Amino acid sequence: MMIFPVIFLLLAFSVTNGYLEDSWAMFSSERPIGPKCVDIPSNLTICNGIEYTQMRLPNILEHETVSEAIHASKDWESLLRLNCHPDTQRFLCSLFAPVCLMQMDRLILPCKSLCMAVKQGCENRMANYGFPWPEMLSCEKFEDDDMCIKPMQEAKPSAGSTTTCTACSQVATYENLVDQFCRSHLVLKGKVIRDSPTHIRVRNGRSLKKGERRRGVSDVEIRLSPESDSGCPCNVSQKGQNEKLLVMASRQPDGKYQANLVLPWQKEKNFKRAIHQFQRLNCQSLGREIRESASRRPHYYEMRRHNTGRYQMF
């Protein structure tokens, strides 16, 4: 007599179980069964504008979904905006969004030379603010072979190269402006003329350094490139003579100045924010402020490790 109720329950369970299986498959559809290619989303901001459009999952850091990669990449946006090396984006994207080639059965890793170049350019500037180069990015984990991601600039430009002066190719991000401010002895707003292939001259400048006795700077000569270079292009310094520029420079052992940054004066939000911050900025505590700001994000301290355990990012 209990046969029909039992059959009914079994049928109901079968239907329900099938529904649950379909629902779970739908719910977990983002988590790949094996390696796959996916489009790089626009909100993976560290890779905006990278030269390829598809990334491989899982990635080198074992993020299995796009959401995981985006979430973990947020801590590295400030490093990218610091502009400490031209290949920083290329290196970070090779980790978080490695290029995907379906005919390849393995991940394409960054070259050791790419890792070393970015480390050399960024490690000291990170250390200035209390961020050591993380063990998870140890360059010893990578090799130089025919299939790795190579640096864009493998060779230093020769003397007389047409490569734009480093000081004139800076980005106007908040992080870079504040960092360059703290690294510079001279920070001026003023009119600039090009004296020679190697020098600019700031006239009618105003010092933006807090506590600077001489707010007005009538005339100062600044070298655009190291002494070993014979000159480099600086389109910024060739603007109209009535245009105001932001110029930052470091004092060299011989007492002369070498440019760190030359940018047109802007009305953009982050540019104005940085300029306002100059007057109350404590460069000694800048690193602590950055760390405290970052540590408020719950994923700041942890990242998946290759086998077991977890990495500490900084």
Domains of the chain with bracketed CATH: 36-154 (1.10.2000.10), 166-283 (2.40.50.120)
| Total-model pTM | 0.67
Q: Mean pLDDT, to the nearest integer, of 160-187?
A: 85
Pairing of strands 36-39, 199-207: unpaired
Q: Is the pLDDT of residue 3 over 80?
A: no
Lowest mean pLDDT across 68-72, 208-212, 288-292: 288-292
CA distance 240 to 147: 47
Place of tokens 């292009």: 233
Task: Determine the pLDDT at residue 163.
Answer: 74
Between 257 and 164, residue with greater pLDDT: 257
Task: Determine the pLDDT at residue 59.
Answer: 95
The 10s digit of each residue's pLDDT in 61-94 is 999 999 999 999 998 988 898 889 999 999 999 9
Task: Determine the pLDDT at residue 162.
Answer: 62
Tell me the one-letter amino acid at 135. E
Q: Is the pLDDT of residue 14 over 90?
A: no
CA distance 274 to 187: 13
Partners of 302 in the β-ladder: 312
The 10s digit of each residue's pLDDT in 120-173 is 999 988 887 778 898 888 999 999 998 999 998 654 444 445 678 889 989 998
> How confident is residue 237, by pLDDT bands cut at 50, 70 and 90?
low
Task: Determine the pLDDT at residue 205.
Answer: 87
Neighbour count for residue 157 (Cβ, 10 Å): 13
Task: Determine the pLDDT at residue 233.
Answer: 83
